[in-house]
Structure 1
Amino acid sequence: MAGRVARERLLVAERQGLKLAILCRTAAIAVGMFWLTVGLNLSGFTPNLMALSALALFAAIGIASYVVIGTRYERWWLKYALYASDIFGVCAVFVVIPVSQSAPELPQILAFRAFGVQFLFPLVAMACLTLSWRLVAWSGVIAVTGWWAAFGLAIAGMEQRLSWGDLSPEATASEYLSLFLSPDFVGYGTRLQETVLLMIAALILALAVYRARCVFVAQVEAELARERAVRTFGRFVPETIAERLASSRGALAPQVRHGVALVLDIENFTAYADGRPPEEVIETLGAFLARSAEAISRREGVVISFTGDGLLAAFNTPLKIREPERAALDAASDLLKCADECGFRVRVGLAAGKIASGRVGSEQRQAFTIYGDTVNRAARLEVLAKDVGATVLADAGVAGKARPDDLLKPLGEQKIRGFEAPLAVWSKQMTALPDGTAN
C-alpha cells in the first residue's frame, strides 16, 4: 500500500514538474521572440520571419501539452515527444538559420564553431524539473543524436573537410591558425568531445533525479508509517507517546522483547452498572479508562487495548524504556489511586518476561497487539487476585524490582489455570493514608 501511495504522489509531483518545465520553456521562447523582433530591430537587423514562425509553433505545442496534463488525453509519451521536438528544433537552427544575414554565403559549419552545443544544456537541465530520470536520460540521448544529425547536414555539401588530424605534430602557430580559421575546418574531435561531455552531464543529472525520487519515496513511506502509528495508538496514548512510536524505526514491526504486561479489570462492574442509566455508566467508565491510560503513559507504558471494563498495557514494547518492571509497579500504584478517586475497585495483574508484538489485520484496518506466555500470565494473575483477595498480583520477575514502599508481600507458590507448575506470586493491597487517600 505504501508503495502504491508513493507512486501516486510521485506521479502528481512529475505532472507538476512537467507543468513548471513547460512554463520555463514558454518563458524562454517569449524571450527568444522578443529578441528576434525588438532586439534585432534595435540592432539594425531585419527579424527572421521563419524563426519567429517556428518559435510561435513551438509555443503553441507547449501550451497544448500543458493543457492536457492530468486529463484523459494525457499520454506517457507526450513529454518525450515534446522534449525531442525542442531539442531537434534547436539543432535545426544550426542548419537552417544563416550564420549572418549580411553574409549568407558563409558556410553553416561556422554556426557550430561560433555558438556550440551549450544551447542544448538548458533543455537537458530543464528535464530535471519533471522528476523523471528517464526523461533526463532521454533528453541527453536525443541531444547527442540531434547534434550529430545537424552537424552531418551542415557538412554534407562541403567539398573539403579539415579536422585536427590534418594538423602535423610539428605544426607552427601560423599553420595552427590557418587550419582553425579555415572555412573548411569541421573539427570532428571537438564535436565528439562536446557531445561526450553533454551525455555525461545528462547521465549525472538523471542519476541525481533518480536519487531524489528514492528520497521522495522513502519520505512518503516514513510519513505513512508515522500516520499508521498515530492512528493505531492515538486513541490510547498521549500525542507525545504516539509521536515517539511513529518516529521509532521498526517499533511496530513483529518482534519479541523483554517487557512487562499489565492487565487491569474493575471489580464487580456488572453489579455497578446494574440499575444505573447506560449514559452514566459509559461516561463514568470512559473517564476512568481515560485517566488510567494517562497514568500508564506517564510511566512510559502503552495501552494496547481496552477490554470492556479493563485494559491491557505493555511496558518496553513497542516503546523501549529503561526498567520496565519499575515503571509497571509505579503505574499500578497510580491506577489504584485513580480507581479510588473514581469510586471503583480494580484488580491488576503484572508479569515480566518475553513479549511478542506486532501489527495484525488487513491493509485497510490494522491493530497492534501483544501475545505470549507473559501476557497470559498477567491475565491469569488478575483473575487470581479475586480468589486471594488481593488488589495487585505480580510474578517473580516484577517483584524482583520492587522497593519496600511498594508494599509487596509474598503469597508463596500458587496454582494458576493454564500453567502446569505453580508460580511464585506477590501481592499488593490498598492502604489508607492519614489524609484518607489511597495508596
Structure 2
Amino acid sequence: MTQAIPRTAPDTTRLLKAERRGLRLAIVCRTVAVGAAFLWVGGSWLAFGFYPNPLIFLVLGLFTAVGIAHASVIGTRFDRWWMKYTIYTIDILAICTTFAFLPVIQGEDVPQILAFRAYGIYYLFPLVAMATLSLSPRLVLWAGGVAVAGWFAAFFIAISGMERRLSWSDLTPGATRADYEALFLSADFIGRGNRIEETGFLMIATLILALAVARARRVFLAQVAAQAEREQIAATLGRYVPEAIAKRLIEDPEALTPQERPAVILVMDIAGFTSYSAGRPPTEVIEHLNDFLSGCAEKISRHSGVVIQFTGDGLMAAFGTPIESDRPEQEAVAAGNALIGEAQAAGFAIRIGLAAGPVAAGSIGSSDRQAFTVYGDTVNRAARLEAHAKVLGRAVLLDAALAEKLPANQLVAEGPQQLRGLKVPVEVYSLTMP
C-alpha cells in the first residue's frame, strides 16, 4: 500500500513556473521604474530648469526595449537559464556606465564624480530587489555582486582622470566647520569612504534578500511536496477505502475515530448471481460485475452516500456517516431507487435492505493498516432486511425507524416480520416502485 512519493519532477515544474511568473512580474516592475525615471528626469527638466543629458532618455528607452525582448522569450523554446543573468548584468552595468561616462549636465565642465554625489547607489537597489521576484537566490546574489563590482568600477573610472582627489582622510584633527564645508563642497571631493560604506550596505541587503528568497523557496517546495503527498495518499487510499473517506482522513484524521452516529445503512445484493455466473467465463463475469458495482458506487456518491465495502456480488453503504447529510433517509431511498435502475440496465435483479438508527463508525485495525467500517444493530438489521426481501419477493425492504421519516404514499406496510438471527419481530415496510 505504501508507495514512494515522486517529488522532484512535480516540484521542479511548479517552481519553474513560479520563477517564470516572477521574472515577468519583475519586468513589469522594471518597466514601471523606467517610466517613473522618465517622468522624474523630464519633470525636473520642465519644473526646475535642470537640463539633463538627452542620452539619459536613450538609455531608459534601451532598458525598456531589453525588458520587453526578454519577456517575449520567457517560457518559450528560446528561453535559456543564462538570459536572466545577462539581462540583470546589462541593466546594472548600464547604470554604472551612465555614472562613469555620461556627463551630469550637458554643456558644462562638471567632474563626473559629482554624479555619484548627486544621485547615488540607490539607483541599483531596485534592480537587486526585483531579482527576488524570480525566486532565485543565486540571481539575487549575482545581481548584488555585479552591482557592487560595477559601482566600484564606475567610481574608479570617474576619478581616473582627476588630478586632485580629496576624501575624508584629508581632514586634519581639529578641523573647523569651514574646513568640512570646503572639503565636502569641493569638486575634487571623491568620498572614497562613502563608496565603501554604500556598497557594504548594498551587499548586506543582497545577502538578506537572498536568504529570504531561499527561505521562500523552501516553504514553496514544502507546500508543493505536502500537496503532492496528500494527492498520493488520496490516490493510494482510494484503492483500498472509499475516496470520500480517504479525503476526509487526510483533511481531518480525528473525524474517523470510532464514535456512535445516527445513520442509514444500505445493504445490496444481486439476486440469482450464482445462476448468472454459471457457465460464463470468470473474466467476463468479473468485468461485468465491476462495471455494475462501479455504476452503483457512483449513484450512491451522488446521493451523499459512502460505499463502506463491497461484499462479493453486493455492497454496503452508509448515509450520514462519515460524510454528514441533512437528509440521510431521503438520500438513502433515492439511492436505492437509482440502484434498481442501474441493475435493470445491467441485466441484474437486486435486493436492498435499509435500516436507520445509531451506528458505531470509525477506523479500526493496527497502526500499519486500518479500515473504516460501521457496525451495530442498525447494520445487522439492514443485512437481515436484504436477506428477507427474498422471502417476501420485494426489491427493497426498510425498517420502521426509516419509514417514519418518509411520506406514507411511498410505503407498503408488510407487518411484523421475524428476521433471521433476530429474536424480536421487526416492523417491515417495502417501497412503492416509482
TM-score by length of 2: 0.64
The 1:281–1:220 alpha-carbon spacing in structure 2 relative to 1, beyond 3 Å, is closer
The 1:310–1:333 alpha-carbon spacing in structure 2 relative to 1, beyond 3 Å, is farther
Given residue 136 of structure 1, which amino acid in structure 2 is its aligned partner? V
- Spell out, residue by residue over 1:220-247, the C-alpha distance to the aligned partner (whole angstroms, 9 max, x if none): 11111222233334574363x3334324
The 1:214–1:272 alpha-carbon spacing in structure 2 relative to 1, beyond 3 Å, is farther
- Spell out, residue by residue over 1:52-96, the C-alpha distance to the aligned partner (whole angstroms, 9 max, x if none): 222222222111111111111111111001001111111122222
Give 1:138's aligned residue: 142
The 1:337–1:111 alpha-carbon spacing in structure 2 relative to 1, beyond 3 Å, is same
- Cα distance in 2 for partners of 1:246, 1:47 equals 64
The 1:39–1:344 alpha-carbon spacing in structure 2 relative to 1, beyond 3 Å, is farther
Q: Does 1:315 align with 2:383?
A: no
Q: Does 1:217 align with 2:240?
A: no
- Cα distance in 1 for partners of 2:299, 2:365 equals 21
1:269 deviates by 7.9
Give 1:99's aligned residue: 104
The count of aligned residue pairs is: 329
Q: Please tell me whether the aligned partners of residues 136 and 214 of structure 2 are also in contact (alpha carbons under 8 angstroms).
A: yes
1:159 deviates by 1.5
Given residue 3 of structure 1, which amino acid in structure 2 is its aligned partner? T
Unaligned runs of 5+ in 1: 250-263, 346-427
1:179-328 matched pairs, under 5 angstroms: 179-234=183-238, 236-237=241-242, 239=244, 241-247=245-251, 271=274, 273=276, 306=310, 308-309=312-313, 315-316=363-364
Q: Please tell me whether the aligned partners of residues 163 and 186 of structure 1 are also in contact (alpha carbons under 8 angstroms).
A: yes
Q: Does 1:30 align with 2:35?
A: yes
- Cα distance in 2 for partners of 1:293, 1:269 equals 26
Give 1:3's aligned residue: 8
The 1:283–1:84 alpha-carbon spacing in structure 2 relative to 1, beyond 3 Å, is closer
Identity of aligned residues (%): 44
Give 1:148's aligned residue: 152
- Cα distance in 2 for partners of 1:76, 1:285 equals 52
- Cα distance in 2 for partners of 1:127, 1:203 equals 12
- Spell out, residue by residue over 1:116-171, the C-alpha distance to the aligned partner (whole angstroms, 9 max, x if none): 11111111111111111111111110110111011101111111222222223332
The 1:23–1:284 alpha-carbon spacing in structure 2 relative to 1, beyond 3 Å, is closer
Q: Please tell me whether the aligned partners of residues 266 and 344 of structure 1 are also in contact (alpha carbons under 8 angstroms).
A: no
Q: Does 1:336 align with 2:380?
A: yes
Given residue 171 of structure 1, which amino acid in structure 2 is its aligned partner? A
Given residue 246 of structure 1, which amino acid in structure 2 is its aligned partner? I
Q: Please tell me whether the aligned partners of residues 52 and 104 of structure 2 are also in contact (alpha carbons under 8 angstroms).
A: no
RMSD: 4.2
- Cα distance in 2 for partners of 1:203, 1:283 equals 60
Q: Please tell me whether the aligned partners of residues 136 and 213 of structure 2 are also in contact (alpha carbons under 8 angstroms).
A: yes
Given residue 27 of structure 2, which amino acid in structure 1 is its aligned partner? I
- Cα distance in 2 for partners of 1:32, 1:201 equals 23
- Spell out, residue by residue over 1:292-344, the C-alpha distance to the aligned partner (whole angstroms, 9 max, x if none): 999xx99xxx96x7574478999345899xxx99x96x626444333234338
Unaligned runs of 5+ in 2: 1-5, 254-266, 317-360, 390-419, 430-434
Q: Does 1:112 align with 2:116?
A: yes
The 1:314–1:188 alpha-carbon spacing in structure 2 relative to 1, beyond 3 Å, is same
User: Does the residue aligned with 2:124 lie in a helix, a strand or coil?
Assistant: helix
Q: Does 1:128 align with 2:172?
A: no
Give 2:73's aligned residue: 68
Q: Please tell me whether the aligned partners of residues 269 and 386 of structure 2 are also in contact (alpha carbons under 8 angstroms).
A: no
1:265 deviates by 12
- Cα distance in 1 for partners of 2:61, 2:424 equals 91
1:206 deviates by 0.8
Q: Does 1:48 align with 2:96?
A: no
Which segment drifts farther, 269-278 or 16-25? 269-278
The 1:336–1:434 alpha-carbon spacing in structure 2 relative to 1, beyond 3 Å, is closer
1:402-421 matched pairs, under 5 angstroms: none
